[in-house]
């Protein structure tokens, strides 16, 4: 840790690709995916920490996963719940609301 706020989001190559005005998409692809761990390991990134005998790493490693970039995410048209119902159940919790909208389940 350098105590320099300008290099807080430094990629493994030592370059700061993210600026305060970066989009969530850029943060995910230009920073987070650079630190994606692998089974074998990558220099300056490392390797996965946990091992499970019954489940191979490749089974739960999904490099093609695309997160929801919008905050809050748009409510899909096919949802049967109305916006005020989500607000009532989630009681103002942004995390609850996000989770419900993305997964369709509480």
Q: Where are the domains of the chain?
A: 1-68, 70-105
Three-state secondary structure call for residue 27: helix
Closest by Cα among 49, 101, 40, 38 to 72: 101
The CA R_g of the chain, rounded to the nearest whole Å, is 18
Distance between CA atoms of residues 76 and 95, nearest Å: 17
State the pTM of this model. 0.58
- Between the alpha carbon of residue 59 and those of residues 48, 49, 54, 56, the distances in Å are 13, 15, 10, 6
Residue pLDDT tens, the chain, 106 long: 678 777 778 888 888 888 888 888 888 888 888 888 877 777 877 777 776 777 777 787 888 888 888 777 777 777 777 778 888 889 989 888 888 888 877 7
């Amino acid at each position: 840790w350098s105590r320099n706020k300008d290099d807080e989001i430094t990629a493994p190559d030592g370059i700061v690709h993210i600026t305060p005005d970066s989009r969530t998409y850029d943060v995910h692809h230009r920073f987070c995916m650079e630190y994606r761990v692998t089974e074998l390991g990558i220099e300056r990134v490392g390797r996965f920490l946990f091992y499970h005998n019954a489940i191979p790493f490749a089974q739960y490693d999904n490099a093609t996963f695309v997160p929801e970039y919008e905050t809050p995410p748009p409510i899909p048209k096919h949802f049967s719940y109305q916006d005020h119902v989500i607000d009532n159940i989630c009681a103002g919790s942004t995390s609850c609301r996000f989770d419900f909208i993305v997964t369709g389940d509480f």
